[in-house]
Amino acid sequence: MLSENKKEQFKMVLTRRLDELSGKNNLLIENIHKVESGYADPFDWAAFNCQRDIHLRMRERECILINEIIDALEKIQDGTYGICEECQEAISEKRLRASPITTLCIDCKTRQEEREKKRKRYSLI
Ligand SMILES: [Zn+2]
CATH at residue 34: 1.20.120.910
Q: What is the pLDDT of residues 29-73, one digit of tens each?
A: 566 566 555 555 656 656 666 677 777 887 788 888 999 999 999
- State how many domains the chain has: 2
- Asked if 89 and 122 sit in the same domain, the reply is yes
Q: Are 58 and 94 in the same domain? A: no
pLDDT at 58: 79
The per-residue pLDDT for 94 is 95
Q: How far is the CA of 109 from the centre of ligand 1 (A)?
A: 7
Same domain, 94 and 62: no
One domain for residues 55 and 104: no
Whether the CB-CB separation of 25 and 58 falls below 8 Å is answered with no
Question: Do 86 and 56 reside in the same domain of the chain?
Answer: no
Q: Are residues 65 and 111 in the same domain?
A: no
* Structural domain range at position 107: 82-125
Query: Are 11 and 72 in a shared domain?
Result: yes
Question: 2 and 41, same structural domain?
Answer: yes
User: Is residue 38 located within the same domain as residue 70?
Assistant: yes
Number of H helices, E strands in the chain: 4, 0
What is the whole-number distance in angstroms between the Cα of residue 103 and the centre of ligand 1? 9
Neighbours of 14 (CB within 10 A): 21
Centre of ligand 1 from the C-alpha of residue 65, in Å? 21
**pLDDT of amino acid 95:** 96
Please calculate the CA angle 77-82-85 and round it to the nearest 5 degrees: 100
- Whether residue 7 is found in the same domain as residue 68: yes
Contacts of 65 (CB under 8 A, 6+ apart): 21, 101
Residue 88 has pLDDT above 60, yes or no: yes
Contact between 96 and 17 (Cβ < 8 Å): no
3 state DSSP class of 10: helix
User: Do the Cβ atoms of 114 and 121 come closer than 8 Å?
Assistant: no
The residue type of 32 is: I
Are 30 and 71 part of one and the same domain? yes
Distance from residue 101's CA to the centre of ligand 1 (Å): 14
- Compute how many other C-beta atoms are within 10 angstroms of the C-beta atom of residue 35: 16
Identify residues whose C-beta is under 5 A from ligand 1, the ion.
Answer: 84, 86-87, 105, 108
Do both 75 and 114 map to the same domain? Answer: no
Checking if the pLDDT of 91 tops 60, the result is: yes
**Ligand 1 centroid distance, CA of 113 (Å):** 13
From ligand 1's centre to the CA of 42, what distance in Å? 52
Mean residue pLDDT of the chain comes to: 84
